[in-house]
Amino acid sequence: MTVAVETGLWQLDPARTTVAIKHKTMWGMVTVKGTFTGVAGEGEVQSDGTARGTITLDVASLDTKNAKRDKHLRSADLFDADRHPTITFAVRDAVLGQDDTVEINGQLTVRGISRPQPVTGRVTGASADTVTLTAEFTVDRDQFDMGWNQMGMIRGLTTVTGTLVFTRAKG
């Protein structure tokens, strides 16, 4: 199946969008999972079929189902939400490929530090008014000055998964 995505402006539907993270802690024995409940975004599909846009996450909205841990994640040790309240993923270029894959050339900004972040996504649904994109990628938190690691408990990469639902922007 190959989908066609209509050109024009698209708005992220936060009620139907999920952005989550998971990271192994306790020397790899426990996987901590969390979801960002505050998410916003927009994009534009160009006439040549490529797309650009931005996804913004509210750092304070990260919910791991543990209030004490969430407070620590928001602290200066890790996300530093007071100084850097948002995480952004800027899509510089996204190209629809075969088998509904989307090659995304993006820039991830966490704690005010921006790094290139290539992502391969997949269009899992498309109609005239709605597009659903799923993606998963890994991030090395050390690249964003998030090296806090008490007793070596937190190692390795963080996995970010997203199901992003866009609706045609009302003009």
Categorize the per-residue pLDDT at 113 as very low, low, confident or very high, splitting at 50, 70 and 90: very high
- Domain-located, residue 88: yes
Round to whole Å and give the CA distance between 12 and 54: 9
Amino acid at 102: V
- Please answer whether residues 112 and 147 qualify as being in contact, where contact means their C-beta atoms are separated by less than 8 angstroms: no
Assess if residue 18 is contained within a domain: yes
Domain assignment of residue 1, yes or no: no
Confirm whether 28 is domain-assigned: yes
* Domain of residue 93, residue span: 8-166
Q: Band of the pLDDT at 18, cuts 50, 70, 90? A: very high
Query: Considering the domain boundaries, does residue 2 fall inside one?
Result: no
Q: Would residue 3 count as lying in a domain?
A: no
Any domain includes 171: no
State mean pLDDT over 30-50: 91
Give the C-alpha distances (Å, rounded to integers) separating 93 from 37, 103, 117, 152: 26, 8, 11, 37
Domain count, the chain: 1
59 within 8 A of 81, measured Cβ to Cβ: yes
pTM for the whole thing?
0.87
Q: What pLDDT digit, counting tens, does each position of 140-164 carry?
A: 877 877 665 544 445 568 899 999 9
Q: What is the CATH number of the domain that holds 119?
A: 2.40.128.110
SS3 call for 32: strand
Q: Judge whether 75 lies within some domain.
A: yes
